[in-house]
Amino acid sequence: MSKKLIALTLAVAFALPFVAPAQAATVEELQALINSLNQQIAALQQQLAGLTGSSATTGTYCFTTDLKQGMTSNDVKNKQIV
């Protein structure tokens, strides 16, 4: 759920400049916008890392069942990968 919220926030942040009325922008204004977006991305990545307990680029997996010898399931496959 939180990944969907972050993705939606990023989508809106990137879409807003294109929805706003067209205006001539200087290089400095565009650079300021890029810096602002980079700061927003960094803040969202920190929030995501805080929610998952890991870096935003590292995937995590939560095992939902007790694994036993002889089992075949997605949990077993993911445990083997880990």
46-73 residue pLDDT tens: 888 777 655 444 556 677 778 788 888 8
Instruction: Report CA torsion sign: 43, 45, 47, 50.
Output: negative
| Residue of 17 and 81 predicted with greater confidence | 81
Q: What is the percentage of the chain residues whose pLDDT exceeds 70?
A: 65
Tokens 């010898």 found at? 69
Is-above-0.75 flag for pTM? no
Distances (CA, A) of 1 to 5, 6, 49, 78: 6, 9, 14, 21
pLDDT value of residue 56:
43
Domain layout of the chain by residue ranges: 2-81
N-to-C CA span, the chain? 23
Cβ atoms of residues 30 and 46 within 8 Å: no
